[in-house]
Amino acid sequence: FLGHESYITFCHLENEAAFTCSADHTIRKWDVVTGQCLAIYRGHTSIVNRILVAKDYLFSGSYDRTARCWSVDKEKQIQEFRGHRNCVLTLAHYSSRDVLEEEEEEEEEEEKVSRDLLVTGSTDCTVKVWWVSSGRCYQTLLGHTGAVLCLILDAPNRELFSGSTDYTIRTWNIVTGEQLKVFKEHQGSVICLELVNRHLYSGSADRTVKCWFVDTGERIQTYKAHKHSVSTLKYHAGILFTGSGDACARAFNSRSGVLQKIFRGHKFIINCIQIHNELLYTASHDGTLRIWDIRGICKRNKRRLKKERSVQGRSSQKGSLSRLFNNKVGCMVQQENRE
């Protein structure tokens, strides 16, 4: 997909359309089948760092210190969120219906028209939550001592995760704004996050990805092999896909951490990874969006998972489950067998 006048910073897939944002200050919508540019959204006055499509809204964050909301169909700006003292680098979206009880919602009569909220992370070290309908800041989350580079939301559990240049990941109660937990093992900036089944994956400038069990804060796996910072992550079908500053995308077995494949072709850092219909989309600093066929690797991984479940099922019949799971050595042996 060629058309941006500068490098692509992020890509979002929605149905049969791809949305890209760029250092050329614009956002573009593409037909993924033909590669035709369907729409251009103009208004930001600097690099557009991140985009997010939710319902009929398109959200964007920029170096111009604002986040904006657009009508996807009309290519028109609906709302501007102004209040950060520096660049807006990352976005998340949710509805208060997802996190608030009915009696709590009644307290927010002013926002009854729309219950949508936007979360923004900035280089000013803060996370802000905004009402979409009015553009009003609902709350500011303070605690990071470096730029907030990434956000991921777990609305059913009322939790927000943020990664920062202060080398930490922090967990917040999205309703109260209370800081719940700090994850501290990375030796570089935390650039990207992915949450799957209460497992949190974090990519860092220290050239690793770490997997954490959210409920305890325990680190349970580290993925190595990158020759530069890990810039983006995506989990799919038991495979962890990563993009890096070394211009390569990689596929790891998410359980064992074993590297399964390297995707080479980009010339500069990969900024974003998306997966749709077992196709891998990679957007890069080199100004291109590439599409890779990953059906083979997904098929092999599904066979492996099926085999592991079969072996696990047979072994579980040989002894007492309660004895195995109460014995730490037994648990570790089970894990090694699965790998």
Q: Is 267 exposed, middle or buried (0-12, 13-18, 19+ CB in 10 A)?
A: exposed
Q: Is 336 exposed, middle or buried (0-12, 13-18, 19+ CB in 10 A)?
A: exposed
Give mean pLDDT, residues 147-174: 95
From CA 185, how far away is CA 224, in angstroms rounded? 14
Amino acid present at 162: S
* pLDDT of the residue at 326: 32
* pLDDT at 339 > cutoff 50: no
Buried b or exposed e, range 92-101, using 16+ CB within 10 angstroms: bbbebeebbe
* pLDDT at 188 > cutoff 70: yes
* pLDDT at 113 > cutoff 50: no
Q: What percent of the chain has pLDDT over 70?
A: 85
* pLDDT at 111 > cutoff 60: no
From CA 25, how far away is CA 29, in angstroms rounded? 14
**Considering the entire predicted model, what is its pTM?**
0.82
Model pLDDT for residues 28-68, shown as the tens digit of each residue: 999 988 889 999 999 999 999 999 998 889 999 999 999 99
Domain boundaries, the chain: 1-96+114-184, 192-304
Least-confidence region, from 125-134, 156-165, 222-231, 308-317: 308-317
* pLDDT at 335 > cutoff 50: no
**Using 50, 70 and 90 to split pLDDT, how confident is the model at 316?**
very low
- Looking at domain 1-96+114-184, its CATH superfamily turns out to be YVTN repeat-like/Quinoprotein amine dehydrogenase (2.130.10.10)
* pLDDT of the residue at 135: 95
* pLDDT of the residue at 325: 30
* pLDDT at 317 > cutoff 50: no
* pLDDT of the residue at 334: 35
In the CATH scheme, what is the code of domain 192-304? Answer: 2.130.10.10
* pLDDT of the residue at 71: 94
Least-confidence region, from 134-143, 190-199, 225-234, 302-311: 302-311
* pLDDT at 302 > cutoff 50: yes
Pick 322 or 171 by higher pLDDT. 171
**Using 50, 70 and 90 to split pLDDT, how confident is the model at 315?**
very low
Give mean pLDDT, residues 226-252: 95
- Is the fold of 1-96+114-184 the same as that of 192-304? yes
Model pLDDT for residues 125-152, shown as the tens digit of each residue: 999 999 999 999 999 999 999 999 999 9
3-state secondary structure the chain: CCCCCCCEEEEEEECCEEEEEECCCCEEEEECCCCCEEEEECCCCCCEEEEEEECCEEEEEECCCEEEEEECCCCEEEEEEECCCCCEEEEEEEEHHHHCCHHHHHHHHHHCCCCEEEEEEECCCCEEEEECCCCCEEEEECCCCCCEEEEEEEHHHCEEEEEECCCCEEEEECCCCCEEEEECCCCCCEEEEEEECCEEEEEECCCCEEEEECCCCEEEEEECCCCCCEEEEEEECCEEEEEECCCCEEEEECCCCCEEEEECCCCCCEEEEEEECCEEEEEECCCCEEEEECHHHHHHHHHHHHHHHHHHHHHHCCCCHHHHHHCHHHHHHHHHHHC
